[in-house]
Amino acid sequence: MALQTRIINKPKIRLTIGERYKFVNHVVHSNKLNTVCEEARCPNIYECWNRGTATIMILGDVCTRACGFCSVETGKPTWNDPLEPYRTAMAVKKMKLRHVVITSVDRDDLKADFGAKIWAETIEQIHTHVSSCTVEVLTPDFQGYVPALETVFSARPEIFSHNVECVERISKQVRSQANWVRSLDVLKHSVDYGLMTKTGMMVGLGETKEEVLDTMKEIVEIGIEIFTIGQYLQPTQDHLPVMRYVEKEEFVEYKIKGLEMGFKIVESGALVRSSYHADEQARLNGVKSFDE
């Protein structure tokens, strides 16, 4: 009996290192900054760094959580760098960015505010020293602690983002120390505060198309304006396996239906990640810089 061959639509990554990539790499490392581009093994690092953009990761490079999809190191953080907000702003200035995405590891060990003060200081330093640059933050959930959230909100990032990561049914499997409903509450708080709000998720983890569409509908109904969806790629053998590679046509369908639902922007594709083309999204959505 002839063996059947299964065709896998696995996305391909372009490995191109240009002068702009080298410049961003130099600025990031000479300023002793971490990036989620490197720590999370993002497939778009070559494209984004060649475009002169990077997602800067604050509060160290060790996370207190161990999500099944994420390759960031897990353990007991030792970060202690009160000058990081200023150095981050200086790096943004050197790169002459018009839009920057800031993210961080989870810091559940910082019981007072889970790192919210450093988040706010980073936003404020960028607004002070690079007022023409818009700031997008991709934050953890701060365990749903409202004073911590409002510390970040009060610094007025131009876009606030927090990812639901997956559909609710498999959330505990994907990120065991998080809470899907709490993530929705975080996003609702941001919308209610008056911030432009964004979230994103992965597919290929065992969800159905109907679950994805239902999730998108639930998210848009709380006032989220920007939505991203991309293919989950297993970073190492120790992480959750890929259950399926989603076809291009399905990603197109998510974009079309998402816009029909009411999202202002839907970024949908195999290699799409939270900050993929974030600078373009900000301009398309009419985000104004701090000094405007």
In a domain, 14, yes or no: no
DSSP line for 68-111:
TT--SEES------TTHHHHHHHHHHHTT-SEEEEEE---TT-T
What is the pLDDT averaged over residues 61-75?
A: 87
In a domain, 13, yes or no: no
Beta strands in the chain (DSSP E): 34-35, 55-58, 62-63, 73-74, 99-104, 134-138, 159-161, 196-203, 226-231, 265-268
Maximum C-alpha span of the chain = 70
Question: What is the tally of structural domains in the chain?
Answer: 1
Q: What pLDDT, on the 0 to 100 scale, is given for residue 80?
A: 85
Q: What are the tokens at 167?
A: 């559909």
Residue 171 is inside which H or E element, if any?
A: helix 171-174
In a domain, 4, yes or no: no
- CB count in 10 Å sphere of residue 281: 22
Task: Decide: helix, strand or coil at residue 159.
Answer: strand
Please name the amino acid found at residue 126. I
Q: What are the tokens at 121?
A: 């200081």
Which pairing describes strands 34-35 and 55-58: parallel, antiparallel, or unpaired?
antiparallel
Backbone angles phi, psi at 138, to 5 degrees: -115, 100
In a domain, 187, yes or no: yes
- Give the CATH number, domain containing residue 212: 3.20.20.70
In a domain, 197, yes or no: yes
Taking CA atoms, 41 is separated from 69, 154, 234, 270, in Å, by: 11, 31, 10, 15
In a domain, 138, yes or no: yes
In a domain, 33, yes or no: yes
Burial class (CB in 10 A: 0-12, 13-18, 19+), 158: buried
Q: What is the pLDDT of residues 8-61, one digit of tens each?
A: 455 555 556 667 667 666 776 676 777 655 545 655 565 665 565 667 889 988
Task: Decide: helix, strand or coil at residue 165.
Answer: strand
Q: What pLDDT, on the 0 to 100 scale, is given for residue 206?
A: 96
Question: Does the predicted model carry a pTM greater than 0.75?
Answer: yes
In a domain, 1, yes or no: no
Q: What is the pLDDT of residues 103-146, one digit of tens each?
A: 999 999 999 999 999 999 999 999 999 999 999 999 999 999 99
Give the pLDDT band (50/70/90) at residue 69. confident
Cα angle for residues 121, 127, 130 (degrees, 5° grid) = 125
Residue 155 lies in domain: 19-284
Total residue length of the chain: 292
Q: What is the pLDDT of residues 227-284, one digit of tens each?
A: 999 999 988 888 999 999 999 999 999 999 999 999 999 999 998 877 766 667 666 6
